[in-house]
Structure 1
Amino acid sequence: MTRRRTGRRTGAAGALTLVLLAGGAVSPTGTPVAHAEPRACTEDQVRYVADEPSGLARLGARRAWALATGRGVVVAVIDSGVSTTNAHFPAGSVLPGRSFVGGPATTDETGHGTAIAGIIAARDIGKRSGVVGVAPAATILPVKISGGESGGDEAEQRAANLARGITYAVSAGADVINLSLSTSSDRRDVRSAVAAAVGAGVVVVASAGNREQATEVKDGLRYPAANPGVLGVAATTGPDEVTEDSIHGPHVDLAAPGDTVLTTFRTGGDCVLSQQGQSTSYATAYVSGAAALLRQRFPSASPAELSHRLQSTASRGTRTIRDDLSGWGVVQPYEAMTAVLDDTVAGPVRPGGAPRASLPPAVSTVDLTPAPDPRAPARETVLWLLLGIAVAVLGLGMGRMLRVPRGS
């Protein structure tokens, strides 16, 4: 079972710690980059990491690709934009999208949206880089709701533009919407936009919340993850422990890797994103990628049916138990695509299925009254007989002693 991580939180709220791990990098030409210490990822130098992202192995992505790669599926990334100058996003992999903050949606000043898009659908560029998305053939629809030319506070921009961004994504043909963001406010406009998206057949996936970025750091509901029909996602470490930064609550449905994530970096190259303050953002992207695989595999399934598949087949310690840390467990797309699900499968109730009755435990009364012994009369007879024999023997012995002459 997943557990809460007990390590110390580090880093400033909202900031990314960008680290290129030593020994795993190559230059744009494929020549290894030699360095003894971790080096910061910077805009002015393009580096690639030859290692495969560990999250792909945890999700069993390569096994899942034998069944689906996300081809024909459109995933909307409602975020800070997606940089199409990154080599992992060749022509046709990212749509023009729309920006609500000025400038094209295919630019990204913060790098957050590009990192999310890379986890979902980065293209394989050969031996120079191991980075590839969970759904490597899916198409990204960038919807830019923060950053851009208008400047201003990003949190306010996201809040003001989120509902419009969701509505646009649905109208532009999104099959999956990734929302790597959260708030403690249940906005009516966002709730309505999410309901319309789910009603239109779109799978909506949202962050369960990052403690270090939240104004309210206590556990509890976060939105849009807590809105009906949305999959809320917590982040885990390599050992499947929920990160300390993940906010816990009944809105958590699934978990996915979110700590030390290797993905696409801004305008070019790769980077390991090691800051916990963004952990559920990356975990959300992994689940969105898994949802894209399922959407290709089951094109006519409803969002509720796909969500049920993802939750029922998630990896967890006890099949019948959900908790507020990791929901139903770590997402497993291959199992979600191959499982035969009915009312007998442990886990969440399937859409349209009969609720499982919660029967009280059976209580029985133990009668401690001694039962009658059917052999008691026989035992009593034998006891008296033995007692009689003992008395007779004792009497004979005493009589013999009295008959012995005193002088002998």
Structure 2
Amino acid sequence: MAGTAAAVFGFAPASAAADVVPDLRPEQWGLTAIEAYELWEETQGEGTTVALPGYAVVEDHPDLRDNLSVDNAFGGGGDEAVGTAAAALVAAHGHGMDADGGVLGVAPGAGLLALPTEDDLPGAVRHAATQGAPVILLPENDGGEDLSAATEEAVGDGILVVGPAGGETDPSVLAVAGTDEDGELIPDSPEAERIELTAPGADLETADPELGAAQVTGTQYAAAMVAGAAALLRTHYPQLGPDEIRDALVTGSHPGPGGLPALHALSADDHAAATAADVPLLDESLTDGADDGGGVPVWAWFASIGAVLVLGVLLLVVWVRRSSADPYGVKAERAAEDERIAAERAAEAGPESRRKQRGGRRRKPRRGA
């Protein structure tokens, strides 16, 4: 594990005889189990934000700094230990030189938007949907009709909603249960029919509010691992919608406890790649509409180009005329000066010279006159 992570984050030998820079992070078996490291050369979740409505997260933790923003518009509050641990499992980036200390999340390059609240989780979910976060991670909650409406709206807006299994059944939410290092469901897990996907959720090394590390167990932490994996896929295949990402995570999984699917990031990425091959980055319906006559007619394009050319010629003519004109009156002043000098010289030369200047000459007298 340390060797793979070292290669991804740029660790290198200090000299030919020296050992590799030591990895001071704790062993994170969850990342190894889902093979998240294998994807980091392709994507680390850059440009994708995971929203955490209902989670209180410590803003200045060194493993989350720069990845995290906190919006207290919904009253704040909540357990910072749970929120900070879950956020770090999603997108912690470690700290120290070459991130050799602290902990790493499944998607260390992803962004985090925490929306702590104790009494308006549906409002926080709706707000998260307006902030451009393609993945939402729910906390443990009792659900409710209003929350189900909010999650349904989020999915309709192209967002994948992930949450811990065990609350109210909500078809809009990818319900996740936790497993231990032996691949068994953690204690107090819900019935199998309420679980759509399993993920590491026991004895996970993560961040704590005291700016250090902690070890946690719970379904909400397994859901955080899945949200991180969703961020990796969303960055790698932005043309896929929430249904395709959800299917890739579930179908592209490994066999888990009792036949339940177990998260495997590398296999999920392979499944997503196969799906994305048939989904263009550009919406073909837009180009089809243009071909069917819904776009700009060809004659309009030629007319526009002609208008631009005519305008360019007119501007060129105006520029030439202005550049050849005498805006400051210099030529006029010189002409007036020349006339004045000529008049002075004519006055000094006398009448005879003036006749010569006019081209006249004296006629010779006739004979016998």
* TM-score normalised per structure 1: 0.58
CA contact (8 A) 1:254 1:327 kept: no
Instruction: Report the CA distance between 1:180 and its aligned residue.
Output: 2.6
Give the SS at the match of 2:150.
helix
Name the residue aligned to 1:254. Answer: 197
- 5 Å-filtered alignment, 1:5-404, equals 50-91=25-66, 93-102=67-76, 109-126=79-96, 129-146=101-118, 157=119, 161-183=120-142, 187-209=144-166, 222-223=167-168, 226-273=169-216, 276=217, 279-316=218-255, 328-339=260-271
Amino acid of the structure 2 residue aligned with 1:164: G
Q: Deviations over 1:96-149 (max 9, x none)?
A: 32342247xxxx653111110000000121465251010000000001013xxx
CA RMSD of aligned residues (A): 2.2
CA contact (8 A) 2:94 2:100 kept: no
> Distance between the aligned counterparts of 1:326 and 1:303, measured in 2?
26
8 Å Cα contact 1:131-1:270 kept in structure 2 = yes
Q: Distance in 2 between matches of 1:281 and 1:326?
A: 20
Q: 1:204, CA displacement in angstroms?
A: 0.3
Shift of 1:267: 4.0
Identity among equivalent positions (%) equals 32
Letter in structure 2 aligned against 1:54: W
Structure 2 distance, partners of 1:100, 1:236, is 32
Aligned-pair CA distance for 1:175: 1.1
> How many Å apart are 1:270 and its aligned residue?
0.9
Q: Deviations over 1:203-260 (max 9, x none)?
A: 1001003xxxxxxxxxxxx32xx31232100100001101122112423110011111
SS of 1:95's partner is: strand
Instruction: Name the count of aligned residue pairs.
Output: 250
Q: Secondary structure in 1 aligned to 2:101?
A: coil
- Which consecutive unaligned segments of at least 5 residues does structure 1 have? 1-47, 147-156, 210-221, 318-324, 343-408
Deviation readout 1:39-83 (Å, 9 max, x if unpaired): xxxxxxxxx973131111011011011221110001011233111
Matched residue of 1:51: which SS? Answer: coil
Residue pair 2:45, 2:232 contacting (<8 A) in 1 also: yes
1:96 and 1:285 map into 2 onto residues whose CA distance is 17
The 1:207/1:109 distance shift into structure 2, 3 A limit, reads closer
Q: Structure 1 residues 143, 102: CA separation in 2 closer, same or farther (over 3 Å shift)?
A: closer
CA spacing shift, 1:145–1:328, aligned 2, 3 Å: same
The CA deviation at 1:177 is 0.4
Contact 2:89 2:221 in 1 (8 A): yes
Once the two structures are TM-superposed, the CA of residue 296 in structure 1 deviates from its matched residue by 0.4
Q: 1:50 to 1:96 in 2, by over 3 A?
A: closer
- Give the AA of the match of 1:206: G
* Counterpart secondary structure, 1:111: helix
Amino acid at match of 1:236: T
Q: TM-score, normalised to structure 2's length?
A: 0.63
Normalized per residue, which structure has more helix? 2
The CA distance in 2 between the partners of 1:190 and 1:256, in whole Å, is 24
Look up the equivalent residue of 1:132 and give its one-letter code. L
